[in-house]
Amino acid sequence: MLNLKRVWALGLLLALGSACAQPAAGIEAALRSALSLHPVVGGKQAQVDAKGHAGEAARSQRYPSLSAQAQRYSSAPQGGGTSNPVTLRARQPLWAFGRIDNQVAYADADTGAERADLLRVQRQLLENTALAYANVLSSHRRLQLAQDNTRAHKELHAQIQRRERGQLASRADVNLAATRLAQALAREQRYAGELAVAQSDLLAWTQQPVAAEQPVPAPLTALPGADAVLEMALGRSAELAHKEQLVERARAAVEQARTAAMPTVYLQAEHWHNQPGVGRDSRVSVVMEGALDGLGLAARGQARAALSQLGAAQQELLAARNDASRSVRRLYSNRQMLQGLIGTQAASLQDLATLLESYKRQYDAGTKSWLDLLNMQREASEQHLQQVQAESDWLAQSLQLTALVGGFDAIAAIAGTARE
């Protein structure tokens, strides 16, 4: 009985180990893996945290500050007695004429801009990962078509060799078939190399092996009309959200520069110990403190510079909006063109398949040459590859549009979303 339990436990452990050893599969697993493991996200998140801590430092200016000063000196130049005065001071800001508030507002805007940039980085990472996944899929299909083409050429080569042995074909026909077979093998090897490169690129994004064999789910490539896609892209764009946050940060920088030279009113409490001429004493007072660097010209220049930065940020936002609109229209137009091309090529492939079978029969009947048959096989293979390329391009453009409208956010569980 004990041995049976041990065997059952060992079998369970082996099964669990085998299940854990299998890589994740599908585009959704690839997206989640990239978002959780890629170092660019961790680095950007650390920058967001740093900006948050800077905001905490700005808010701390509202709290009291404590200072202490201790001295030791001789009371007479010829070695008289020594004195050890100590001064303790506590200051609570009462009114800074908006300077502290504007510094806090700038820190918050800076943190918001960094968060928007994090979302932009996440969206770009998801787009790159999805495109790499689609590239692996298309590379798989191209390799499969190349293998089918090689297999067909091997059959034709074997057929012409049999006909040569029966003195029904010339040696030139055999050499021609061998040449076409070598070309098919070379293409197969090239596509095998492209598949290895595509898989390596996908691994660079996902940071762990992901089996890219499952097709992309239809909902990820289903898009509404052009106007709706454009509206969704502009409303959910992470790039535009980042640019808008940069405008807000520049606007906060203007207010910060305008109040940078303002004085601060403090409630100050001081205590002296061993102070010459005073001894021990305490005092509470209201103090106004301020400074004008360069007679105020420095603050004036900083304010003008901040206004110029605000204008630049606003222009960059307009340019980004224009680029986003142009990109969406181009992608959608190409996608529609490819959709029609795929339908046309599918019908052409059916005709070519029928024509290829007809050429084989006509060659056997002696009405078509061996070169005609090989050329028809090449034409069918080329048409298949063109259709795969068109479908690959259509998938890539669809995934890019899906990324622009935030279609991957829910799958990858992105914490933040762009503004609507």
Q: DSSP per residue over 95-164, as a string?
A: E-TTHHHHHHHHHHHHHHHHHHHHHHHHHHHHHHHHHHHHHHHHHHHHHHHHHHHHHHHHHHHHHHHHHH
- Indicate whether 45 pLDDT > 70: yes
The pLDDT > 90 percentage for the chain reads 59
Domains of the chain (ranges; CATH) run 25-62+101-261+322-412 (1.20.1600.10)
- At 141, the pLDDT band (50, 70, 90 cuts) reads very high
**pLDDT band at residue 380, thresholds of 50, 70 and 90?**
very high
pLDDT at position 48: 93
Torsion of CA 247, 252, 255, 259, to 10 degrees: -150
The pLDDT value recorded for residue 182 is 96
Q: When comparing pLDDT for 415 and 302, which is higher?
A: 302
Q: How far apart are CA 57 and CA 80, in angstroms?
A: 46
Of 353, 340, 334, 350, the closest CA to residue 393 belongs to 334
User: What mean pLDDT is predicted for residues 279-289?
Assistant: 81
For residues 260-273, average pLDDT? 85
Strand partners, 266: 93, 287
Q: If pLDDT is split at 50, 70 and 90, which confidence band does 292 have?
A: confident
